[in-house]
Amino acid sequence: MKKLLAGAAIAVLMAASPALAQTPPNVLVVGQIAEPQSLDPQVSTAANDFRITTNIFEGLVRFAEGTLEVEPALATAWEISDDGLVYTFTLREGVSFHDGTPFNAEAVKFTFDRMLDESHPFYGTGPFPLSFNFADITETAVLDEHTVQFTLGQPFAPFLTNLATNTGGIVSPAAVEQFGDDFGRNPVGTGPFQFEEWQSNTRVVVSRNDAYWGDAAGMETVVFRPVTDANTRVAEMLSGGIDIMVEVPPDNVAMLADDPMFTVYDAVGPHVWYVMLNMKEGPFTDQLVRQAANFAVNKETLVNDVLQGTADVSAGPIPPAFNWAFNDAVEPYPYDPDRARQLLEESGVEDLSVTFYVTEGGSGMLDPIPMGTAIQADLQAVGFDVTIETYEWNTFLSNVNPGLEGKADMAEMAWMTTDPDTLPFLTLRTAAWPEEGGFNSSYYSNIDVDEMLDQARMSTDPEERAALYRDVQAVVHDDAPWIFVANWKQNAVSTANVQGFELQPDFNLRLAGVTKE
């Protein structure tokens, strides 16, 4: 009966005109920035998708509310061997997947073998899976029904942190076997909400999991609506068509904050917004040209005028939210168009015609079209000839992730991460070039950076890790494979009757504790 009532409420909601729409009291409507690509946690790579999957799936561990500190989730305890190679987890008993099948050690092994074992019948979670995060696992062993053990090939400092990310979510083996490649459209986990429906470009609906092992979710139903146009998203917020809106356009933050009908949230998180530069072909193969591009772009104007102070200027690939690993001695490239012109002249590169991929909107992309247009103008002012090509988010990713070679010279990108290892490891190592399955779409390669990153993820000494990441930031800043632009202060807005909502440092939306008055 519950689902029938929820479905009726959603039908009324979706049929109402925007000017008259009011969300039902038992339904929470979230305005997302784009259509999800997949709801399979091992396939998804975008925060937009993770904001949904984090409510459906759980990992062995999770981040404690409001922090990046690891706490128990589907595992109640764990032990780490003295050499850092063996992790043994005791699993929570009495937990079931949404399809009624039991959560146990076999399900954990199935999940990780599916990502890592090429002989697994369901191996292959997409061309760019974040299974990179678990590449050091050499074996996942079932010790008994409620005990699972991971053996690593080498010590890996971020292992527990990576288990807490969405990619570590445990999937129902029975559901994967039933749906196969369509599992991403029919996700089954153990979380506080269970999947109900996905109508493309319209909504994803989840309902409260009444058999959840923890505290029951406060809302009966959550509807995630893709509203790609920022102005439309704001209009829906103002008219009562949505309860929570993520990634509030900078121009509207102050207006909504001053209105007692709404609550605005902001929080600093580990975010980097940058423009990747094609180092395999074209003018950006020259370091002087890449540095010139960094000097040419007025980042202060971008963060203060375009983004209305909702971000800070970035100095490199390690965001300052990781204060223990951040190199504050590395200064952002200053705005110096004369220096940019001088470097371009010194480079001797004559053809400065470049194609710039810009997205209409996507995870953490921060007003991408106005930002792209402003960057284009700054680059053209020093001698570049910049052509912008604009794409919808998922099309944009399908063009960029396989690499820029043969397609574009520049592309916007943003990452939200939970460890200083993640972004440089997936986007700056030589072994992370797209043909190797990574996200180094710029084709950046520096042997020293490769060695430092490998050493940092193996080190169990926090001070040594921090020093290595600070060195990585300094070297990458000088090599300039990207235009380093901004570190976002994430934001969201809700109607005033929404209670229990908080932004999380990992940029997920944890909605189990949310209610409406």
Residue 307 and residue 206 share a domain: no
Query: Where is 154: in which H helix or E strand?
Result: none
Query: Which tokens hold the place of 178?
Result: 């039933």
Residue 151 and residue 35 share a domain: no
For residue 482, give the nearest of 318, 253, 240, 308 by alpha carbon: 318
Residue 88 and residue 164 share a domain: yes
**Cα end-to-end span (Å), the chain:** 23
- Residue 331 is assigned to a structural domain of this protein: yes
**Who's near 182: CB < 8 A, 6+ residues apart?**
none
- CB count within 10 Å of CB 145 equals 12
- Residue 185 is assigned to a structural domain of this protein: no
Cα distances from 109 to residues 104, 106, 141, in angstroms, run 9, 5, 7
- Residue 398 is assigned to a structural domain of this protein: yes
Read off the pLDDT of each residue in 430-452 and give the average, rounded to a whole number: 94
Q: Which domain holds residue 84?
A: 58-173
Q: Is the pLDDT of residue 246 over 60?
A: yes
Helix 447-458 vs helix 462-479: crossing angle, to nearest 10: 160
Residue 503 and residue 479 share a domain: no
Q: Which residues pair with 80 in a beta bridge?
A: 87
Cα distances from 258 to residues 47, 64, 201, 242, in angstroms, run 28, 31, 32, 19
Residue 131 and residue 67 share a domain: yes
For residue 204, give the nearest of 35, 21, 443, 440 by alpha carbon: 35
Residue 52 and residue 62 share a domain: no
Q: Is 350 exposed, middle or buried (0-12, 13-18, 19+ CB in 10 A)?
A: exposed
Residue 370 and residue 222 share a domain: no
pLDDT at 489: 83
Q: Is the pLDDT of residue 25 over 60?
A: yes
CATH number of the domain that 79 lies in?
A: 3.90.76.10
Residue 150 and residue 287 share a domain: no
Residue 422 and residue 325 share a domain: yes
3-state secondary structure of 333: coil
CATH number of the domain that 440 lies in?
A: 3.10.105.10
Residue 346 and residue 218 share a domain: no
Domain total in the chain: 3
- Residue 34 is assigned to a structural domain of this protein: yes
Average pLDDT, the chain: 92
Whether the pTM exceeds 0.75: the reply is yes
* Whole-number Å distance between alpha carbons of 506 and 268: 10
Q: What is the pLDDT of residues 185-207, one digit of tens each?
A: 999 999 999 999 999 999 999 99
Q: Report, in angstroms and rounded to the nearest whole number, the Rg of the chain calculated over CA atoms.
A: 23
- Residue 181 is assigned to a structural domain of this protein: no
Q: Is the pLDDT of residue 17 over 50?
A: no
* Residues 344 and 292: beta-carbon distance below 8 Å: yes
Q: How does residue 3 score in pLDDT terms, banded at 50, 70 and 90?
A: low
* Residues 443 and 303: beta-carbon distance below 8 Å: no
Q: Is the pLDDT of residue 127 over 80?
A: no
Read off the pLDDT of each residue in 28-49 and give the average, rounded to a whole number: 92
Residue 347 and residue 464 share a domain: yes
3-state secondary structure of 63: strand
CATH number of the domain that 504 lies in?
A: 3.40.190.10
pLDDT at 7: 54
Q: In 93-182, at which residue ranges do the beta strands (DSSP E only) sit?
A: 137-144, 147-152
Query: Which tokens hold the place of 225?
Result: 């609506």
Q: In 210-320, at which residue ranges do the beta strands (DSSP E only) sit?
A: 221-226, 244-246, 262-268, 271-277, 311-313
